[in-house]
């Protein structure tokens, strides 16, 4: 199996229909055909997207708590450490 890593930030996520086939478009570079996807697979996709949103909300909350604690201690800004994975050069 090939793994593809794609970072799309805030680029659009849309459904496209071309010649009777349905695609999930993620940004400009990725299109996944979902024409024959089962309801179970589509429900799983929705669950994974919800999990991703929860992870992002947790990171935002953690950063806000760190900033609030720092403000109470008289500091202006404290970030929450985040370690990125390796990237291609």
Quote the CA–CA distance of 7 and 54 in Å, as a whole number: 18
Report in angstroms the alpha-carbon separations of 47 from 36, 42, 54, 79: 19, 9, 11, 29
Quote the CA–CA distance of 27 and 23 in Å, as a whole number: 12
Q: What is the pLDDT of residue 62?
A: 84
Of 29 and 83, the one with more pLDDT:
29
Prediction pTM value: 0.60
Quote the CA–CA distance of 60 and 80 in Å, as a whole number: 10
The region of weakest confidence among 10-14, 19-23, 62-66, 77-81 is: 77-81
- For the chain, domain boundaries: 13-72
Q: Residue 76 in contact with residue 70, Cβ under 8 Å?
A: yes
Tell whether the model's pLDDT for residue 16 goes beyond 90. yes
Using one digit for the tens of pLDDT, what is the confidence trace for 38-84? 999 999 999 999 998 999 898 888 887 777 776 666 665 555 555 56
Q: What is the pLDDT of residue 75?
A: 60
């Amino acid at each position: 199996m090939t793994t593809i890593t794609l970072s799309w930030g805030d680029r659009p996520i849309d459904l496209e229909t071309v010649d009777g086939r349905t695609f999930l478009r993620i940004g400009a570079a990725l299109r996944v055909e979902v024409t024959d996807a089962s309801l179970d697979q589509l429900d799983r996709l929705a669950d994974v997207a919800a999990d991703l949103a929860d992870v992002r909300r947790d990171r935002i909350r953690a950063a806000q708590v760190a900033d609030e604690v720092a403000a109470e201690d008289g500091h202006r800004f404290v970030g929450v450490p985040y370690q990125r994975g390796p990237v291609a050069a």
